[in-house]
Structure 1
Amino acid sequence: MFTTTDLAQVLFVTTLQPSDELSPSAIREAVDERLCACGGDPSWCAAFVAQEAGDHPETYVRRMRWALDAVADAYALTAA
């Protein structure tokens, strides 16, 4: 089982953008696709997120907040 933080890090490294109008299912699909591409290991995504935070701190916080909120909303629907 993955945490919201794990899933947000996976979403962070997708090509989806906060400005996109995304359904919860589109977010879950993108996360699933990226996880499969990483062999189901979200730690690969965490390493990339850390690199992006160092390289682009001015955009990191905004994108991570979006990713956290997006996965919380997308996966809350499946837990109900």
Structure 2
Amino acid sequence: MISIVKDLAAEALFVSDLQPSQCPSREAVERAVTAMILLHGSDGCAAEVATEFGDHPEVAVPRMHWVHEELTGVLESRRVAAFH
């Protein structure tokens, strides 16, 4: 179940307008994920990701790496906050 939620969050962040150069805050990442899921739904986010990987793999691969780094940071900060 956790894996499915992480995958959905990754797809949603991938299709958002957030850029690595913005160095978004944890809150900005969470807002972007929520907004994209509400806008596109889970299937829509997945379809957008697939399209980008098909049309622009040279850009999509580094973006997905960034997405996973951002989400790892968000999850780690939540774990730390939960223990305080």
Scaled by the length of structure 2, the TM-score of the pair is: 0.81
Following superposition, the deviation at residue 27 of structure 1 comes to 0.3
Following superposition, the deviation at residue 37 of structure 1 comes to 1.4
Q: Counterparts of 2:76 and 2:45 in 1: how far apart (Å)?
A: 22
| Preserved CA contact (<8 Å) 1:12 1:49 | yes
Instruction: Report SS of the residue matched to 2:20.
Output: coil
Match of 2:13 among 11, 14, 17: 11
- Cα RMSD after superposing both structures: 1.6
Letter in 1 for 2:69: D
Alignment partner, residue 21 of structure 1? 23
Alignment partner, residue 77 of structure 1? 77
Count matched residues.
78
Q: Counterparts of 1:76 and 1:32 in 2: how far apart (Å)?
A: 18
Instruction: Report SS of the residue matched to 2:45.
Output: helix
| Preserved CA contact (<8 Å) 1:13 1:45 | yes
Following superposition, the deviation at residue 10 of structure 1 comes to 0.4
What stretches of structure 2 of length at least 5 have no aligned partner? Answer: none
Scaled by the length of structure 1, the TM-score of the pair is: 0.84
Q: Displaced runs of 4+ in structure 1, greater than 4 A?
A: none
Following superposition, the deviation at residue 70 of structure 1 comes to 0.7
Question: Greater RCO between the two (CA within 8 Å, min separation 6)?
Answer: 1
Q: Does 1:33 align with 2:35?
A: yes
Q: Counterparts of 1:78 and 1:37 in 2: how far apart (Å)?
A: 25
Q: Counterparts of 1:4 and 1:76 in 2: how far apart (Å)?
A: 13
Q: Counterparts of 2:26 and 2:71 in 1: how far apart (Å)?
A: 8
